[in-house]
A and B are shown apart, each in its own frame.
Chain A
Amino acid sequence: MNDRPKDDRDVRLERIFAAAKTASPDVSGVARNFETRLMARIAESRGSGEPWYGWAWRLAPAFIVLTLLLGAWTLVFDPVRATDPGTMLVAVAEQVTLVDDLTGG
């Protein structure tokens, strides 16, 4: 009893396939001047080389990631995060000494 509907569906499917196969699709309308349209598209794609800013946009995600990493690194490794005036003064003095050493002052 349960097999009966399955058989019917198989038969129906075969009929549908058989009917669909009898007619080969009519492609004559699209085939007309097809190569002319295609060659125009190829010529167009060849002529429109990508401008330099196209590459710049592609690099944008990399720059965003780099910025985020640098931001995170600054937050984690910044040694002068102290808030008391004494530590800040020492840090400033160290910077002044460093600048003097580097500039010969």
Chain B
Amino acid sequence: MREAVPEPQGEDDLIRSALAGDDEAFAGLVRNHKAAVLRTAARFARNDAELDDLGQETFMRAYQSLSSYRGDAPFGHWLSRITIRACYDFLRERRRHEKDVSLDALAYSVADPSSGAVFSSEQARLILERGMSRLKPADRLVITLFELEDRSVREVAALTGWSETLVKVRAFRARKALKRSIGGENER
């Protein structure tokens, strides 16, 4: 279950000042929220350079649309939606140029379920990266939010702007596709 993150003190003041053109105030907002944004973005980026790009793209979008923030939800929630949107666009863009990630060093024997293998987090990350690189961006997004970030259907729907029914359907299909992708890899 995800813990509610308390709104940092003075956030409203920072937003007002940033809207009035105070760059230092916006930098303060970035300082307060960069860890959360980067943690989410790190699920989609393959290295630090991509993560930095994705983080900056997210905050650039937030900066450009700050005037549309109405304050009816915590700033962090509003920023989460922008983060997810940026990650989704990033995945779609990357898919156009993507080639298979080379994982020659990965010992796939550990993925044999009959051996009762235990995965290290790094092995699991690599297997998932490879398996998910073949999924559609929407499938990858929904798997990441559901399975790795433990978000609920309602949360995923709110973050992506999709209906709850669509989220459920996509989650089911994405899981099936990922099983096929990882299973097929392992059976080679």
Contact = CB atoms under 8 A, between A and B. Distances in A.
Interface in A11-57: 11-13, 15-25, 27, 29-31, 34-35, 37-39, 41-43, 45
Contact of B23 (A10, A24, A43, A45): A43
A17 to B, nearest CB: 5
Interface residues of B, number: 42
Interface in A45-84: 45
B182 A24 contact: no
Contact of B27 (A12, A20, A27, A35): A35
Contact of B182 (A9, A25, A29, A37): A9
Given A15-B119, A30-B38, A42 B63 contact: yes
B114 A22 contact: no
Contact of A41 (B56, B114, B125): B56
Contact of B30 (A9, A24, A34, A45): A34
Contacts of B148: 17, 20-21
Given A8-B114, A11-B113, A27-B35, A38 B182 contact: no
B158 to A, nearest CB: 22
B23 A42 contact: yes
A20 B150 CA distance: 12
B52 A34 contact: yes
B31 interface: yes
A39 B26 contact: yes
A38 B56 contact: yes
B48 A30 contact: yes
A9 to B, nearest CB: 5
B21 to A, nearest CB: 10
Nearest to B30: A35
Given A12-B113, A38-B30, A30 B182 contact: no
B51 A27 contact: yes
A29 B60 CA distance: 20
A22 B27 contact: no
Interface string B95-133: 000000000000000010110011111111101100000
Interface in B28-55: 30-31, 34-35, 38-39, 42-43, 48, 51-52, 55
Interface of B: 23, 26-27, 30-31, 34-35, 38-39, 42-43, 48, 51-52, 55-56, 59-60, 63, 111, 113-114, 117-125, 127-128, 147-148, 150, 175, 178-179, 182-183, 186
6 contacts: A5-B183, A6-B179, A16-B128, A17-B148, A21-B147, A30-B51
Interface of A: 5-6, 8-13, 15-25, 27, 29-31, 34-35, 37-39, 41-43, 45
